[in-house]
């Protein structure tokens, strides 16, 4: 039982090397990775609320199947707002203010 | 045994305080959710919530983190049965018969027996922990630094030996983990080690950025390759209570799973995953109708689900009695104890009885909570599964960023996490397991300290490790495990 699972995971060494990158969704992967990197870089300079909003929006908008902007906009706004309430007000995490007043 | 009751009542006194009850509940709730969601495992969830526990009482934080671990074992079975996608590695085998049962309209009993089996196994496992922990820690007290060093080396070697894939890869990961743990200021000489002139590295590499990067971000990035839009078993679940016949068929499997799973959890590198695989193989072998396995045999659900819970309970034994983690989750808990200023080791139970007995008692309570959470609320968990991953994963990344930032309010930690996230993704792609790395990372300073103390005892003579009987036995077994794959094929994978 165990071995059949592992074989499914392992395959032959050569075949594996070619297959490793076959199923990669490059667009999604690179976009997410860049958005996350950008988020981390902007986190302190422009502040928590703005950077969080931009991060969520960039990821959700770019990867939504039919290009919609309303739902990503609402989710991003909620995430930034709720994140601010939960972490800053409830849990007392000192979040960077950045260029905004809060 | 009189002491046992005294200790237990102390434990329940601790566990029944309002805040501990609340965080036990939060822990098992989050555990269930992470178990249900395929995108994130218990290691990722624990590292995500790690920063939150810094301000808590140590007992409370361990109670919550432990709750996530055993809670995830419950939740993992739900997705295996209903969607044929294991929420956790330890529920992989549950898919085989659980999903078939669901297809035949018997999803209810499958979920029910998984939850009851987990409950029975979890409860029996806790009793084992209670009875075994004290004598084992008494034995551990007699260990000196050389024995400790050798035992930790042995534990790490077993983890490497039992890791999936080639032993060499696991060995590379463990060495890397020890190397990363050495970064920072030396505790004895205050000299900077491996900091490459970066002042922020003087405090060492943080456990949270490392674990979150490897297990949180790395997992999210590699999950992009899973196809989206999973099919959920939509039909209404009639009754989750297994019938008398179901019970008759599965009670043996539950008990066998418990007694098999527990010792497998105690062994380093074992834990819930191997326990579930072994239990399935055993059930198939002892069954009067092995041909039914894979077509919806209830024993195939009951056995592994009990075994993985017993295994996860068992893995607390080496943690509490010797201060040695047996898998990535208990390694993180060990890291948590250290951060809270506890010194894990054989004296932990004596010095902090409220910690050990409080956690044990909370596990009883947590198991009851899980039964309540999992059976009547199963519909809610199914709905949770319908949240698309593309909406879920930005939140996981967001929690990683906030978590890593909140520890020291340092952007450096977040950058570090980001880098480890990229590295963790590559590890996954090339099938290097991150678990041995994180364990070696946490055990690194312990290994270093016991090595130094031993050499101080012997004034620099290395033979101290081979002249003491316990130490030399441990090292010999460790050496054998590490070089044996050169001569034999790995037996764990070749059998069954």
Tell me how far apart the alpha carbons of residues B410 and B425 are, in angstroms, rounded to a whole number: 23
For tokens 């193989």, the residue is B281
Q: What is the least distance, in Å, from the CA of B413 to any CA of chain A? A: 10
Confidence tier at B492 by pLDDT (50, 70, 90): very low
Distance CA B194, CA B184 (A): 7
Give me the residues of chain A with pLDDT under 50, please. Answer: 1-2, 4-5
Instruction: Sort out which chain A residues have CB atoms less than 8 A from B280's CB and list them.
Output: 1
Q: How many CB atoms lie within 10 A of CB B338?
A: 16
User: Can you tell me the distance from the alpha carbon of B293 to that of B466, in angstroms, rounded to the nearest whole number?
Assistant: 49
Structure tokens at B263: 């010792």
pLDDT digits (tens, 9 = 90+) for B224-260: 776 665 566 555 666 777 888 888 888 889 999 999 8
Please give the radius of gyration of chain B, using alpha carbons only, rounded to the nearest integer.
22
Mean per-residue pLDDT over chain B, rounded? 83
Q: How far apart are CA B161 and CA B478, in angstroms?
A: 9
When CB atoms are compared, the residue of B93, B225, B395 closest to A79 is B395
Q: Does A40 touch chain B (CB under 8 A)?
A: yes
CB contact (8 A) between residue A6 and residue B164: yes
Q: What b/e string do you get for B146-169 counting C-beta neighbours within 10 Å, with b at 16 or more?
A: bbbbbbbbbbbbbbbbbbbbebeb
Model pLDDT, residue B238: 64
Q: CB distance A1–B284 less than 8 Å?
A: yes
Q: pLDDT value at position B495?
A: 38
CA distance A1 to chain B (A): 6
- The beta strand positions in B48-196, using DSSP E, are 184-185, 192-193
In sequence order, the β-bridge partners of residue B192 are B185
DSSP state of A68: -
State the pTM of this model.
0.80
> Is the CB of residue A52 less than 8 Å away from at least one CB of chain B?
yes
Q: Do B406 and A83 touch (CB under 8 A)?
A: no
Q: Which of A33, A60, A93 sits opposite B406 (nearest CB)?
A: A93
Which structural domain range is residue B274 located in?
A: 2-494
CB B425 within 8 A of CB B218: yes
Contact A55 B52 (CB under 8 A): no
Of A9, A29, A93, the CB nearest to B224: A29
ipTM of the complex: 0.81
> Mean per-residue pLDDT for B120-131?
87
What are the residue ranges spanned by the domains of chain A?
Answer: 25-102
Distance CA B330, CA B448 (A): 20
- What confidence score (pLDDT) does residue A66 get? 66
């Amino acid at each position: 039982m165990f071995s059949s699972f592992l074989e499914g995971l392992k395959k032959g060494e050569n075949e594996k090397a070619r297959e490793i990158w076959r199923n990669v969704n490059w667009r999604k992967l690179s976009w997410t990775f860049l958005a996350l990197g950008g988020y981390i870089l902007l986190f302190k300079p422009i502040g928590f609320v703005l950077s969080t909003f931009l991060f969520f929006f960039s990821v959700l908008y770019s990867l939504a199947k039919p290009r919609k902007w309303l739902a990503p906009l609402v989710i991003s706004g909620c995430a930034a707002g709720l994140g601010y309430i939960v972490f800053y007000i409830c849990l007392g995490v000192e979040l960077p203010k950045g260029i905004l007043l809060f | 045994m009189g002491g046992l009751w005294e200790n237990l009542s102390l434990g329940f006194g601790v566990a029944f305080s309002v805040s501990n009850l609340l965080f036990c509940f939060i822990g098992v709730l989050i555990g269930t959710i992470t178990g249900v969601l395929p995108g994130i495992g218990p290691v990722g969830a624990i590292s995500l919530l790690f920063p939150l526990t810094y301000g808590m009482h140590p007992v409370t934080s361990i109670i919550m983190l432990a709750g996530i671990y055993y809670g995830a074992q419950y939740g993992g079975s739900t997705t295996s049965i209903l969607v044929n996608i294991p929420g956790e590695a330890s529920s992989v085998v549950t898919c085989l018969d659980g999903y078939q049962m669901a297809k035949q309209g018997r999803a209810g009993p499958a979920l029910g027996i998984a939850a009851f089996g987990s409950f029975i196994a979890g409860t029996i496992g806790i009793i084992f922990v209670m009875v075994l922990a004290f004598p084992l820690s008494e034995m551990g007290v007699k260990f000196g630094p050389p024995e400790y060093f050798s035992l930790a080396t042995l534990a790490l070697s077993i983890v490497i030996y039992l890791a999936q894939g080639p032993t060499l890869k696991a060995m590379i990961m463990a060495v890397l983990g020890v190397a990363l743990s050495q970064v920072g200021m030396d505790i004895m000489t205050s000299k900077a080690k491996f900091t490459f002139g970066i002042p922020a590295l003087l405090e060492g590499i943080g456990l949270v950025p490392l674990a979150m990067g490897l297990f949180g971000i790395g997992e999210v990035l590699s999950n992009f390759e899973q196809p989206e839009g999973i099919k959920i078993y939509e039909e209404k679940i009639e009754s989750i209570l297994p019938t008398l016949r179901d019970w008759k068929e599965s009670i043996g499997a539950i008990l066998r799973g418990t007694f098999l799973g527990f010792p497998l959890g105690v062994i380093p590198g074992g834990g819930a995953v191997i326990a579930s695989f072994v239990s399935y193989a055993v059930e198939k072998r002892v069954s009067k109708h092995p041909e039914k396995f894979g077509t919806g045999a209830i024993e195939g659900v009951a056995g592994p689900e009990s075994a993985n819970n017993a295994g996860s309970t068992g893995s607390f034994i080496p943690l509490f009695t010797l201060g040695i983690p047996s898998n990535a989750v208990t390694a993180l808990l060990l890291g948590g104890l250290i951060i809270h200023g506890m010194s894990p080791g054989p004296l932990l139970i004596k010095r902090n009885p409220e910690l050990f007995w409080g956690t044990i008692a909370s596990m009883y309570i947590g198991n009851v909570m899980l039964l309540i959470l999992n059976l009547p609320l199963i519909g809610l968990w199914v709905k949770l599964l319908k949240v698309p991953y593309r909406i879920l994963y930005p939140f996981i990344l967001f929690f990683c960023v906030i978590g890593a930032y909140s520890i020291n309010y340092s952007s450096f930690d977040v950058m570090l996490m980001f880098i480890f996230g990229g590295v963790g993704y590559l590890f996954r792609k090339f099938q290097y397991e991150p678990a041995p790395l994180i364990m070696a990372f946490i055990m690194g300073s312990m290994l270093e300290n016991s090595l130094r103390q031993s050499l101080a005892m012997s004034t620099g003579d290395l033979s101290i490790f081979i002249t003491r009987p316990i130490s030399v036995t441990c090292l010999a077994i460790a050496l054998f495990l590490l070089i044996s794959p050169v001569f034999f094929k790995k037996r764990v994978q070749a059998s069954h």
